Each structure stands twice: as C-alpha cells, then as structure tokens.
Amino acid sequence: MDKLVIEGGKPLSGTIVIQGAKNAALPILAASMLVEGIVTIDHVPKLLDIDVMLNILRELGCRAEHEDETVTLDTTSLHSSHIPEALMRQMRSSIFLMGPLLARFGEVTIYQPGGCAIGERKIDLHLSGLRALGAQIDEEDSRIVCYAKRLKGADIHLDLPSVGATENIMMAAVLAEGLTTISNAAREPEIQDLQHFLNSMGAKIVGAGTDTITIEGVEKLKPSRYQVIPDRIVTGTVMVAAAATRGQVTLLNTCPSHLSSLIHVLRRTGVQITVDGDIIKVGTASRPKAVDRIVTSPYPAFPTDLQSQVMVLLALADGVSVMKETIFEGRFKHVDELSRMGADIRVDLNSAYVRGVSRLYGATVEATDLRAGAALVIAGLAAQGKTVVEQVHHIDRGYDRIEHMLGRLGARITRYSPVPNNQIVQ
Ligand code: EPZ
C-alpha cells in the first residue's frame, strides 16, 4: 500500500488546473450504456474509481479506452447486464448501472453494494424508484435481480434527496414509455451534468438542479461527445489546503457557482477569495477565525464531501467551531487521526466541537476513506514536521496523483510504493 510523506509548514503558492468531476463522470459513463455506438467523454480524470467503472463496462462487453482524460466507449458489443459481485464490491457507484442496463436489456443483476467507512449507504430509494417504473425486483441474499419488459413513466417522490437514486431513476426513465417526474430530487451540479449529457443524446429531460425533474421517454438515443464539468470537491479541497497553509493559490477551470457555500464559510474564517469567471483566487496570511456552526446538507448547502477538509482549517482556527454532519453517519473517522496530530476535537453524536490550536504536529496517520484521506494530507501540509499518510489508495479513488497536483503548488510531498517481495534485491 502506497504512502505519502509530507514535510509540512510551507505555504502553497502558484496556479493549478482542476480535473474533471469524478461524481459527474461515473453516472455519465453508466448512462452511455443506454445507447448503441461510439460515445466520447472528455475531461475524465485518471482515478481508481474511473478504472473500476471502465473495467465493469469491459466485463459487460463494452470496448473502453481512456487516453489523456478522454474516454472512448463502443457500446455496440455490450452483451451482458450481470455485474460481477467482486466488481460491485470494489466500488458502490456501480449501482449507477442498474437504470441504464435495465432500460437497455429489460433485466439487470447486481449485488448489494454494501456499506463503506462513511456509512450504511442504503439503496432502498434506488429500488423503490425502479419498481415505480414497473421493474420487478427480486432480492435473494446479496443478489438483486431486476426485470422489466418495458419501463413505464411514473410520478416518483424521494423520501430523501438522494444523489444516486435521482440519477439512477433519471437514466431508467429516459427510454421508458411516457412521462416520469421525480420530486424531492437531489439538486447537485453532477445531476445537471447528467441531464445535459443525456439530452445531448436526444433525451428529453428538464428540471435537473431543482427539486423536480421531468423526463419524457423517447424511443432511442444517438451517441454523442460530451465534456464533464470540473470537480467541485477537488476545487474545494485545494482551496482549503491553500487556506490552511496560509498560501496564495489560483485555481483555473473551476465552477465558482458550484462552491457558494464553501466560499461563504472560508470568507467567514477570514480567507480572501476572489472569483473571476472560471478562476478562483485564494489567499491568506493570518490565522483563520473559528466558525460557530457549519451543517452539512444536500446541495446547494454545505457539502458533506468537504466536511473533513474544512475541519482541518477549523482545527487551526482561533476559537471554537461546531461542525454537524447530517448526511453520513460515519463521516468523522478523520477526527482520531487529526487528534494524533495535536488537534483538539470532541465528537458528540453527529456534531464535532473543534477548539482551534495554534499548530498541528506531523505524525503517521491512516486514511480511512476518500475525503478523510484528503483532509489528512491538508493537515500534513499545515503541520510542523513530517507526516506519513498511509492507505493512500482511498485518496487515489478521487484525486488524480494528489502528490503531483499539490507538488505543483510547492508542497513537499512524496509517494512511496512498497517494493513487491519478489523484487527485493538481496
Ligand atoms: C453521492 O453518493 C456521492 N457519490 C458522494 O460522494 C456524496 O457524498 C453523496 O452523493 C452526497 O452528496 C457519487 O456521486 C459517486 P446519496 P450517494 O444517495 O449517491 C441515504 C465522494 O466522496 N440513502 O445522496 O451514495 C444514504 O445512506 C462520495 O465523492 C438512503 O437512505 O449519496 C446517505 O445517508 C462519498 N437510501 C444519504 O441518503 C438510498 O436509496 C445521501 O446519500 C440512497 C441513499
């Protein structure tokens, strides 16, 4: 397992171009299975999660190439809608394939994706949405088999604005007979990107980005070429790293409007932020101020995916902040690791009480999940001394070579990969 070794205490400075959005690319790659032919998706970053998704598509018979951030898919030879359990387990986002494969083949077999470090990650809203569209779903142990001769449009209300369930239902409804409405839909930018991609292939969807999405079923789609939006969570991660190291960083190819809640929080800590088109500049030379209360909620509120990163900044702030996590029940696993670096954080149920300290100290820490890992890297950059972050594969799921990205901003960060036993030279 790779490690990252970070020499902290150096302010980040310089300019960086933001990668394409993992959480837009994954459903868009899945949605490509709705159409027969060559589909080209640009601005797809090289990430573990993308690799897993492409391997699943290849397993189903699709040809998939990923060169220089462009993915080319030939879905003509797609012949299976049975997703192997081992691959499901590698990445729960394979659940996104349910809707498209059911719409294309009339049947799909998947396996319970299971929980992960951040929570139980139920899929009941996905299944109830597909049932509403006429799918027959049999659950046998962890195996889930879905059938539907032809899906029929329906009025669907989500108990929770689930991102994945909204996307899965959208993709299943595109080829259904008649009209589908999704109310209490999730409003994330990645859902808007999925709508734009599907409509570029001839789908008729309106409303993504609001809490009501309407899909008018069509007979057939035609292949298209599409560019994915920038990754707002990677953007936010770099912004927080710049603030935590008291640096000056310019971020290019961003969507500032996707980060309004983070920009508001960072300004409350005293960080200077300027926005000009798709350029964000972040700078500060002083100690951040505490923020009395931040609550993670569905978009456009403060995103759960930036909770752990911002907590690092609060751990260095002057005063006491409270961070409340309302989306995932297990998303405070970075707290213990930060405490080992000198942070003063007390967790009570789903609230973290963060008493800022003047400095953090390097330590050997372990990434437990994608965004907790990113937070530990930020802590290492800001800390005095050397930090070793282990289990870096979690971070590689969502950040394209994070050490190169931050290294270009002056970070002293090196990746160490263990030498396989059979290569140890005696
Ligand atoms: C997406 O996950 C993102 N992943 C997550 O990003 C993100 O944290 C999350 O949305 C919330 O914004 C991708 O887009 C690939 P949800 P998803 O369905 O779709 C409950 C990252 O770091 N729920 O909106 O799984 C669920 O348990 C990842 O990039 C049900 O109860 O999120 C959770 O508590 C982590 N039943 C809440 O809803 C369901 O059927 C939000 O989940 C589905 C979800």
Average pLDDT over residues 302-311: 98
331 touches ligand 1 (CB under 6 Å): no
Distance in Å, CA 163 to ligand 1 centroid: 6
25 touches ligand 1 (CB under 6 Å): no
Note the pLDDT of residue 9: 96
Which of 19, 23, 110 to mutate to test ligand 1, by most ligand atoms within 8 A of the CB atom? 23
Residue nearest to atom 22 of ligand 1 (CA): 305
120 touches ligand 1 (CB under 6 Å): yes
Residue nearest to atom 14 of ligand 1 (CA): 23
Note the pLDDT of residue 71: 98
Average pLDDT over residues 309-326: 98
- More confident call, 112 vs 365: 365
Report the predicted TM-score, pTM, of the whole model to 2 decimal places: 0.97
| CA 274/CA 261 separation, integer angstroms | 14
Note the pLDDT of residue 199: 98
Give percent above pLDDT 90 in the chain.
90
Average pLDDT over residues 289-307: 98
Note the pLDDT of residue 144: 94
Band of residue 176 on the pLDDT scale cut at 50, 70, 90 = very high
Note the pLDDT of residue 418: 84
Average pLDDT over residues 119-135: 94
Note the pLDDT of residue 294: 98
Closest ligand 1 atom to Cα of 120: 27
307 touches ligand 1 (CB under 6 Å): no
Note the pLDDT of residue 326: 97
Q: Which of 54-58, 112-116, 144-148, 196-200 has the lowest mean pLDDT?
A: 112-116
Quick check: 425 pLDDT over 60? no
Note the pLDDT of residue 183: 98
Name the CATH superfamily housing domain 3-19+230-425: Enolpyruvate transferase domain (3.65.10.10)
Closest ligand 1 atom to Cα of 398: 29
Going by C-alpha positions, the residue among 285, 336, 284 that lies closest to residue 315 is 336
191 touches ligand 1 (CB under 6 Å): no
Note the pLDDT of residue 115: 66
Average pLDDT over residues 309-335: 97
Residue range 217-253, pLDDT digits in tens: 999 999 999 999 999 999 999 999 999 999 999 999 9
- More confident call, 420 vs 3: 3
Residue range 396-419, pLDDT digits in tens: 999 999 999 999 999 999 999 987
For the chain, give every domain's residue range: 3-19+230-425, 22-227
Closest ligand 1 atom to Cα of 161: 24
Closest ligand 1 atom to Cα of 329: 34
Average pLDDT over residues 46-68: 95
Q: What's the whole-number average pLDDT of the chain? A: 95
Q: What is the CATH number of domain 22-227?
A: 3.65.10.10
Give the count of beta carbons closer than 10 Å to the beta carbon of residue 68: 7
406 touches ligand 1 (CB under 6 Å): no
Residue type, 134: G
Helix H, strand E, coil C: the string for the chain is CCEEEEECCCCCEEEEECCECHHHHHHHHHHHHHCCCEEEEECCCCCHHHHHHHHHHHHCCCEEEEECCEEEEECCCCCCCECCHHHHHHCHHHHHHHHHHHHHHCEEEEECCCCECCECCCCHHHHHHHHHCCCEEEEECCEEEEECCCCECCEEECCCCCHHHHHHHHHHHCCCECEEEEECCCCCHHHHHHHHHHHHCCCEEECECECEEEEECCCCCCCCEEECCECHHHHHHHHHHHHHCCCEEEEECCCHHHHHHHHHHHHHCCCEEEEECCEEEEECCCCCECCCCEEECCCCCECHHHHHHHHHHHHCCECEEEEECCCCCCCCCHHHHHHHCCCEEEEECCEEEEECCCCCECCEEECCCHHHHHHHHHHHHHCECEEEEECCHHHHCCCCCHHHHHHCCCCEEEEECCCCHHHCCC
Which of 44, 137, 163 to mutate to test ligand 1, by most ligand atoms within 8 A of the CB atom? 163
Quick check: 421 pLDDT over 80? no
23 touches ligand 1 (CB under 6 Å): yes
> Residue 32 in contact with residue 38, Cβ under 8 Å?
no
Band of residue 28 on the pLDDT scale cut at 50, 70, 90 = very high
Which of 121, 235, 302 to mutate to test ligand 1, by most ligand atoms within 8 A of the CB atom? 121
Quick check: 381 pLDDT over 90? yes
Distance in Å, CA 298 to ligand 1 centroid: 10
Average pLDDT over residues 263-268: 98
Distance in Å, CA 165 to ligand 1 centroid: 9
Average pLDDT over residues 110-128: 86
121 touches ligand 1 (CB under 6 Å): yes
166 touches ligand 1 (CB under 6 Å): no
Is-same-fold flag (3-19+230-425; 22-227)? yes
Note the pLDDT of residue 342: 98
Note the pLDDT of residue 88: 85
Closest ligand 1 atom to Cα of 167: 19
Our answer to whether residue 255 is catalytic in this structure is: no
